[in-house]
Structure 1
């Protein structure tokens, strides 16, 4: 019985194996068909990649490229001073109006000097007496009537009287407050009858014959600023197209540790009436000018792990294809970049992809459909 059961098991195993062998060609046919469908699908998906990629192109151009720096500055008068009295006293009279234009040496205010004039008259009497005494002793000394000690005493009294008279003359002159330079007097803070001291500010006087501007330059640019460097000033109080020219006349020799910047001052050439001391303005300084530089728009630069690249439009028979050119960049200014060097020589008027290089699906040899650069971008150029 065991022998019969073993025989039936071998027969079933043999039958199953024959069935598997018969099904194997069918499986091969199914796999081949699937592979064929896969190849058709891949070729169908690869077909759109062969289509031309529309791109906006422009040309490599040579132009003068200027490196500029824009900072904020504060406008100041050519000269500015706070008028103060050198001696204390009561204001007798004010000789100027607020906002009046005055000249150097003009008397603006008078302090009561009655007491000083009395002292001056007293000192003047002593001076005259000392002068007569000295002259008398001079004659007596020649005749040996007085001693040398008496003559020396008379000479000393004369010198003292002279010095005292000079001192009171100076103090009397200080009772008159005069304009230190030509300028415009501001609002006054005193009136006749007020008592002023050397700490009292009478008024502000400003020389507006020319204007200055004070600004800070970061330390990394300070080596490019020197006396005579030109700049352009723009202010919100002026028309948007108005530009005021200026020239640097002072560069500080130290760097501020707190701001890491250096103080720079400049003079404005023929400033308009709209500019006033105390206003702030934008100062644009020309740091460097590259003559006849090879330039491209900033949007045409492709930044990658291999460095900066340009995508040039190259002729390939009847097609236009993409050529990736590694480049070394230089100065950037007003939306343009200087091309210092490139592995493939770039000629002027060479067509390059001008915009969207980071978002377009491009690769070396890709077919391109060049389009002119947009009109507004050309206008900006």
Structure 2
């Protein structure tokens, strides 16, 4: 062996020894048992309060529109004032219809005399039955024409369909209007409705005759009770939400169209297993948590219900007494051994989370 090759051989040997030393920690890391913290699942009281967004609407609402086209010859829109049902709000020009009605009445009068004369002749066989039937048919035709014309005249009059408050006037006297023209709006404000939606999974919290609490911007933090009057029987196919309607008494600080925060199930409580939200492993199809059974990690699918700020209620997949991994979740492997470092309380996790948030 040449003396020139000796340094190269020594360098290769040292490199091989160094590579061998680097591989040993990786092998040891693979066999290392992950250390986790756990909590023991316990039932606790959960306040079933669901917050929903709602809209306040009038008890009755209508846009006053004419049924026929024409020029307005009368307009009585007391803006912002209360009117009784049947009050005439507007009239459309009906001069042509009135003329037609008068003409038909004259023709009807002549037809009545003809029918009476032929009926007397028919009694003494002075006219055949066909002539009398024709006269009677003409008489009935004029009566039908009068009824039809009168119906058209009635359509030219716009009346208040219910007792309520008239909104702002949208047209001026003498304007030409069509069936699409809005003369004004009218609302019944003696009581108000609130429409809101909630997820269908909380449908058991609402029922007809039950109550919810509402809060509006004008109420300045004061909540009022509203009574549920109806629930849409079919859930929305897209959002899977249920539409609910409740009623409240009218007040000056509450206007139709206003936003309302609705609190459903406030004051009611139920027992449920609460777990930290960060202990849940989201999946494409379901949610999973890691339980410890006989020193090994067991991945279990769960169904969740009511959410709080840091916790969530488990409605299926866990039972009281289960040991749940709350820290080190990402290091656990299915059916692999884990080492429990500490058994914590749920309140400790909440306090530490609040401290971390405050520190940020």
Band of TM-score, shorter chain: 0.5 to 0.7
Displacement after TM superposition at 1:289 (Å): 3.1
Instruction: Check 1:257–1:159 CA distance in 2 against 1; reply closer, same or farther (3 A cut).
Output: same
Pick one of 265, 268, 273 that aligns with 1:286.
265
Please give the per-residue CA displacement for 1:15-41, whole angstroms capped at 9, x wherever unaligned.
xxxxxxxxxxxxxxxxxxxxxxxxxxx
Contact in 1 for aligned 2:71/2:93 (Cα 8 Å): yes
Counterparts of 1:331 and 1:112, CA distance in 2:
62
1:170 aligns with 2:151: yes
Aligned counterpart, 1:356: 348
Counterparts of 1:330 and 1:112, CA distance in 2:
63
Paired residue total: 265
Instruction: Check 1:194–1:173 CA distance in 2 against 1; reply closer, same or farther (3 A cut).
Output: same
Aligned counterpart, 1:217: 198
Aligned counterpart, 1:323: none
Q: Which runs of 5 or more structure 2 residues have no equivalent in the other structure?
A: 1-43, 281-288, 293-303, 314-318, 323-343, 353-360
Contact in 2 for aligned 1:67/1:332 (Cα 8 Å): no
Instruction: Check 1:294–1:163 CA distance in 2 against 1; reply closer, same or farther (3 A cut).
Output: closer
Aligned counterpart, 1:272: 251
Moved over 4 A (4+): 293-296, 302-307, 329-338, 340-343, 352-355, 357-360
Which structure would you say has the larger Rg? Answer: 1
Equivalent residue of 2:118, what SS? helix
Contact in 1 for aligned 2:189/2:250 (Cα 8 Å): no
Counterparts of 1:225 and 1:357, CA distance in 2:
32
| 1:28-177 equivalent positions in 2, closer than 5 A | 66-177=47-158
Cα RMSD over matched residues?
A: 3.5
Counterparts of 1:250 and 1:235, CA distance in 2:
21
1:263 aligns with 2:243: yes
TM, length-normalised to structure 1: 0.61
TM, length-normalised to structure 2: 0.64
Contact in 1 for aligned 2:77/2:169 (Cα 8 Å): no
Counterparts of 1:187 and 1:150, CA distance in 2:
59
1:192 aligns with 2:192: no
Counterparts of 2:350 and 2:85, CA distance in 1:
67
